[in-house]
Amino acid sequence: MEPHDEFVHEYPKPLDSPWKENWYFNFIDRKNQAWGINHISLTRHEGKGRFTAFHVVDDQILMYSNLIAVEDHPQELTDGRLKFEFLEPERKFRVTFNGPQHRVELNCQARFAVFDYGSSRSGKPRKKGAMSINHYEQALSINGTLEMEGKSRPVECLGHRDHSWGYRDESKVTGWNWIAVQMPDKTINMSRVVVGEAFMGTGFVSRADGNVRIVKVSVEETKFDNGVPQSSIFVGEDEQGKVWRLKSEKFSGLFLPMREKGDGVVVHENFAEYTNLETGERGVGIDEYLINSGI
């Protein structure tokens, strides 16, 4: 990636297929009882921007979503309440949310190098297709403050971010899993996307000495409670032949109907404790499930 890739990209015109640009930041602070996700999505084929902040504070779910018209090439990523700032590309970022019930400021510092999934270095999406996107992710250290009901608390934790742009038509997606796990000395990311009978698994492990790509992913033993996923075992094999086996255990979660992705599409955004089943190491992170019952 290049430093300019952090910001809004030009997109091909005219558009006859969905073309989106997404930015995502999460934070999980168990000690201070605050966690959540922050997301901005520009749907360039529709000229709209979706700004979302889903936070949990003292077990209270605070949900914000705003759909606005966006200009052709906005200079700032904000709708007036939620704002993402890229202070130093690949290193320092700020997320601020001034909501009706609470306020949050998150100052984010890169923990490890960006992992780029290997798309075009030119900033242009790959050859047109249903999911032809550029995509990178990065682990974060976060400190900041949260204000609610006249009281302020610190936010000091680990987190994660990603950024993608390009052709993105998810109408044929049957389901997906995505995990982003933060451990003291590493982050482990795995994703598995299912389209009909086909599936794709990928991911990475980031540490201080660099990134290693995960080339195979499987999902085992998902357990449900009243149709809501509670726990899974994820198995990933990296490019060096090392196998990573992680078990998620949900401690909090959000149920998100996603009608814009199609009828019957829901996302379960779980916040989970993780255990590395090979070493016993513990971590915390996101355990996301998309389920499409409309196909």
pTM above 0.95, yes or no: no
CB 132 within 8 A of CB 155: no
The number of residues making up the chain comes to: 295
> Does domain 19-169 match CATH 2.60.120.260?
no
Answer for the pair 8, 74: CB distance below 8 angstroms, yes or no.
yes
Kindly report, residue by residue over 187-217, the tens digit of the pLDDT.
999 999 888 777 889 999 999 999 999 999 9
Q: Are 77 and 84 in contact (CB under 8 A)?
A: yes
User: Contact, 96 vs 83, CB < 8 A?
Assistant: yes
Q: Which of 250, 214, 217 is nearest to 231 (CA)?
A: 250
Q: Which of 199, 198, 211 is nearest to 238 (CA)?
A: 211
CATH number of 170-295: 2.40.128
Domain boundaries, the chain: 19-169, 170-295
Chain CA centroid to CA 280, Å: 25
pLDDT tens for residues 37-68? 999 999 999 999 999 999 999 999 999 999 99
Handedness of CA 277, 279, 284, 288 (dihedral sign): negative
State yes or no: pLDDT of 124 exceeds 70.
no
